[in-house]
């Protein structure tokens, strides 16, 4: 028996990704299926219950440990580079860009906000489902001034679909597109409000066309829950008089250019002088 909240993997995919069961459903024939959310990937998928296998606590711990090691390596590289940059500019103080993140997953959101703050970035997180985000984004932006907006959650290319351009082929892409359009009606300048939007396998071209600076997923790949954090860190700590190198910024992500892409964007950090001794 499976229950909502159980950690499982799919037999048909060689148990490569661990998921948390989000919903359990039954059809008219009594066949049961599950809606699954990736444990560390922003993927929303479905599977018949017969395709699922429960994961033991030790397996989950090992899976999370390997994932944490990968995240730590990326964060260590980012912070080490930033320390070198700061040492070269010791007489200045820094005000990194402010972040506002809307996410359809409270667990992911909490992890992201905690990491932003550990890196010295002012950040606020608001949990809103993907379908809610377009309706609330303008009001939230009015009440929470930000330099960088992150619109994330879960997505996925629906099994059996063949049109990569149709919004009907994706679970959440239309909501990310609508949210970006609403945010751009509030602030049209891509350098005054930097936007990252999308999740696993999202309609990359449509999200960028709506006005996002960065989006997923060029090759309809899975993206890691922390990939938006790595993008935001580089933008937040790049001075406003510099253009963020798209190629360089993507090298700092876990997914790389298969999962995330974007356009040239100004940094959002302001330097001040002189630095106070207090």
Domain definitions of the chain by residue range: 1-76, 92-270
Q: What is the pLDDT of residue 68?
A: 87
- pLDDT of 85 reads 64
Give the DSSP letter of residue 134: H
Reference 136, options 102, 169, 86; nearest CA is: 102
Please check the confidence at residue 78 and state whether its pLDDT lies above 80: no
Phi, psi angle pair for 159, to nearest 5° = -55, 135
What letter would DSSP give residue 11? G
Structurally, at CATH architecture level, domain 92-270 sits in: 3-Layer(aba) Sandwich (3.40)
% of the chain exceeding 90 in pLDDT: 78
| Per-residue pLDDT tens digits for 36-50 | 999 989 888 999 999
Crossing angle of the two packed helices 173-186 and 133-143, in degrees rounded to 10: 30
Give me the mean pLDDT over the 54-60 stretch: 96
Check residue 86 and give its pLDDT.
61
Q: At what angle are helices 227-236 and 57-87 packed, to 10 degrees?
A: 10
Q: Considering the chain, what percentage of its residues have pLDDT values greater than 70?
A: 97
pLDDT in tens, 142-187: 999 999 999 999 999 998 999 999 999 999 999 999 999 999 999 9
Confidence of residue 233 (pLDDT cuts 50, 70, 90): very high
Confidence band of 106 (pLDDT split at 50, 70, 90): very high
Determine contact, residues 43/10, Cβ cutoff 8 Å: no
175-188 tens-digit pLDDT: 999 999 999 999 99
Mean pLDDT rounded to a whole number for the chain = 93
> For residues 86 and 66, what is the distance between their CA atoms, to the nearest angstrom?
31
Whether the predicted pLDDT of 81 surpasses 80: no
Entry pTM:
0.88
What's the CATH code, domain 1-76? 2.30.30.490
Rounded distance, CA 223 to CA 40, Å?
Answer: 9
Q: How many residues does the chain have?
A: 278
Report pLDDT digits (tens) over 197-225. Answer: 999 999 999 999 999 999 999 999 999 99
Burial 208-225 (b: 16+ CB within 10 A, else e): bebbbbbbbbbebbbbbb
CA–CA separation, 38 vs 46, rounded Å?
11
pLDDT digits (tens, 9 = 90+) for 240-255: 999 998 988 898 899 8
């Amino acid at each position: 028996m499976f229950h909502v909240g159980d950690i499982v993997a799919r037999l048909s995919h060689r148990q490569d990704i661990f998921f948390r069961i989000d919903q359990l459903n039954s059809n008219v024939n009594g066949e049961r299926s599950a809606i699954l959310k990736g444990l560390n990937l922003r993927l929303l998928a479905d599977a018949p219950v017969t395709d699922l296998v429960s994961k033991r606590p030790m397996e989950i711990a090992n899976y999370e440990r390997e994932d944490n090691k990968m995240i730590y390596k990326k964060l260590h590289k980012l912070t080490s580079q930033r320390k070198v940059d700061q040492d070269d500019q010791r007489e200045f103080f820094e005000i990194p860009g402010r972040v506002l993140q809307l996410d359809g997953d409270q667990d992911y959101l909490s992890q992201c906000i905690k990491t932003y703050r550990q890196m010295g970035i002012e950040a606020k997180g608001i949990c809103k489902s993907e379908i809610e985000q377009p309706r609330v984004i303008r009001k939230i932006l009015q009440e929470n001034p930000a330099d960088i907006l992150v619109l994330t959650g879960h997505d996925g290319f629906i099994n059996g679909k063949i049109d990569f351009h149709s919004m009907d082929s994706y679970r959440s892409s239309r909501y990310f597109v609508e949210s970006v359009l609403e945010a751009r009606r509030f602030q049209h300048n891509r350098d005054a409000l930097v936007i990252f939007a999308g999740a696993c396998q999202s309609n990359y071209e449509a999200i960028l066309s709506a006005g996002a600076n960065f989006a997923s997923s060029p090759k309809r790949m899975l993206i890691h829950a922390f990939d938006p954090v790595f993008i935001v860190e580089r933008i937040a700590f790049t001075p406003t008089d510099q253009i963020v190198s798209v190629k360089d910024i993507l090298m700092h992500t876990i997914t790389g250019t298969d999962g995330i892409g974007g356009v040239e964007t100004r940094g959002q950090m302001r330097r001040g002088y002189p630095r106070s001794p207090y």
